[in-house]
Amino acid sequence: MKLTGAEIIWECLVREGVEYVWGYPGGAILPTYDALSKYQNKIKHVLVRHEQGATHMADGYARATGKVGVAMATSGPGATNMVTGIATAMMDSSPIVCITGQVASGVIGSDAFQEIDITGITLPITKHNFLVTDLRELVTTLRKAFFIARSGRPGPVLVDVAKDVQNASIEFEYPTDAIRLPGYRPAQSASVQQIERAVEMLLKAKRPLILAGHGVNMSGAERALLTLAERGHIPVALTLLGKGAVPESHPLCLGMMGMHGGASVNQAIQGADLLIACGMRFDDRVTGNLKTYSPNSKKIHIDIDASEINKNVKVDVGIAGDLRTVLEQLLPHVPVMQHDEWMSEIREWQRDVDHRDIVNQTPPTDKLFAAHAIRDLWKATGGNALVVTDVGQHQMWEAQYYLHERPRTLITSGGLGTMGFGLPAAIGAKMGCPNDHVWAIVGDGGFQMTLTELGTAAQENININVAIINNSYLGMVRQWQEFFYEERYNATPMHNPDFCKLAEAYGIAAIRVTNRAQIPEAVAKAQSINGPTVVEFRVEEADIVYPMVPAGADLHNMIRRPNNIPDFTESH
């Protein structure tokens, strides 16, 4: 059959199993939007309010489901507005495909209206990108884009399609052969020698520790990892994006590591004699000072991306391969073990942490602290919500006080730290997982960067709950100013709108919470409404995320909440 390039785009998306496309039309992509009318019963298009929102929605969908998310925009500013979302997906290995329109191939390079070299701009922040100026290459290019996005270490791929390619027609035949790219062979399994060396190190270890990262969830290795931990009696520390890799209620799960991780977790890392790093990349927010990072441990690193091995932390055994495959190779060689003395030492550190923890202290009733709000939100939702966060203090409090039992139930921007990610990513996550209760936990600063997507949520009646942790500050920056800049609070106090009135202007139900006693009822009401809701939590303005490892400091050199000295009456 004969199809236009625009029709071929939609035909390929259908054959790739695409359910949703988040996008915004414009001149250079208009032929493709015109062809959408023939495919509306097969693919749902969601009109966003800003192209950045489209990429975050595709990203949230991809992280929640494991499928490829798709975003669409026109040329020029439409394409450049996607850059932040593409970079966010790249840093966190999220599989999305972005399709952009481009000016006609005959005028490329002439500075035509809304022409931009988007493939040049996004070259460093995509796994791969393509410019299509020949209709005969369109089908193959789109198939390659999806294959690259989802295979190996996932990531974003951009396909820029010239307008004349969209308008032209050709006989369409969809290939059925497997995609093969010269030189692109993601590693899958470990060698016999690598497994033997890893087992030998594990058997000799007295203080082993598993570090579980985002790759556990992406490879579907949760069951294999938990089996390794239980059989070897090995405690597990989580990266931010690794939360949910093992149930946080499990006695071997220590919680989050790193800059704002648990003090006991960081102490365990520094005291271990073996680290087994699974699907994580030793980010600086995890390691602190590399020169003093876990100085007495042997290190095993398993990751799908060979370039990550020995990049930041030198390891004794590096295995480039699919994590689930490698763990399943390893497990038959791991006997039942006990490390009771090591676990007893960790429990002692945990008791000290619990003693200092703000959620184990009772504040005055006229004060609402974010940590209490999030812990009570966890209780009120039964810990079963799919949570999407923005970036800042609230993100770290969520990681500390909302415990995740299932994989893919915390979606957040880790590597890039993108403020404004939370609301649009929650929309995408909810569309991918319609049966889940989805909560977007956002700060008053980041929320205002993409709050226009409330319009998208309202138009599509997306059943998400938005919890705004409102402290009237850019809270994390203010915290750094307090600790490291002699309390010079430049450009961090915020004059905010009335968020409840703002939500109501979009036709969205809004609830304000000013004290802890109101939280259970507010959460129940929000979850009972069939449609988007906004719950504003008016929390203490000058609160601190404890502990904190200063940038570049030793991992064990944490700023901790004072022991047995409540912080409730101090002003910062």
Q: Is 129 within 8 Å of 79 (Cβ atoms)?
A: no
Separation in Å, CA 176 to CA 131, 145, 412? 23, 15, 36
For residue 545, give every residue at least 6 positions away whose Cβ sits within 8 Å of its Cβ, in sequence order, or none. 260, 393, 396, 397, 400, 476, 479
102 catalytically annotated: no
- C-alpha 275/C-alpha 297 separation (Å) is 6
Q: What single-letter amino acid sits at 308? A: E
Catalytic residue among 419, 476, 548, 558: 476
114 catalytically annotated: yes
Q: Is 532 within 8 Å of 508 (Cβ atoms)?
A: yes
For residue 90, give every residue at least 6 positions away whose Cβ sits within 8 Å of its Cβ, in sequence order, or none. 125, 126, 127, 155, 156, 415, 416
479 catalytically annotated: no
In this structure, what token pair is assigned to residue 486?
């002699």
- C-alpha 80/C-alpha 59 separation (Å) is 17
Catalytic residue among 11, 82, 115, 163: 163
User: In what order do the strands lie in the sheet containing 69-73?
Assistant: 44-47, 20-23, 69-73, 96-102, 157-162, 128-132
Catalytic residue among 51, 115, 398, 453: 51
Q: Tell me whether strands 169-171 and 2-4 are parallel, antiparallel or unpaired.
A: antiparallel
- C-alpha 172/C-alpha 4 separation (Å) is 9
Separation in Å, CA 206 to CA 232, 298, 313, 346? 11, 11, 21, 13
Helices (H), 214-310: 214-219, 222-232, 263-271, 284-287
Count other Cβ atoms within 10 Å, centred on residue 548: 20
Q: What single-letter amino acid sits at 231? A: R
Catalytic residue among 19, 44, 114, 494: 114
Catalytic residue among 38, 40, 42, 113: 113
Separation in Å, CA 452 to CA 56, 420, 459, 508? 13, 10, 12, 13
163 catalytically annotated: yes
338 catalytically annotated: no
Q: Tell me whether strands 157-162 and 169-171 are parallel, antiparallel or unpaired.
A: unpaired
**In DSSP terms, which residues pair with 538 in a beta bridge?**
470
Separation in Å, CA 411 to CA 60, 256, 353? 7, 15, 26
Q: How far apart are the first and last CA of the chain?
A: 70
Active site residues: 51, 113-114, 163, 476
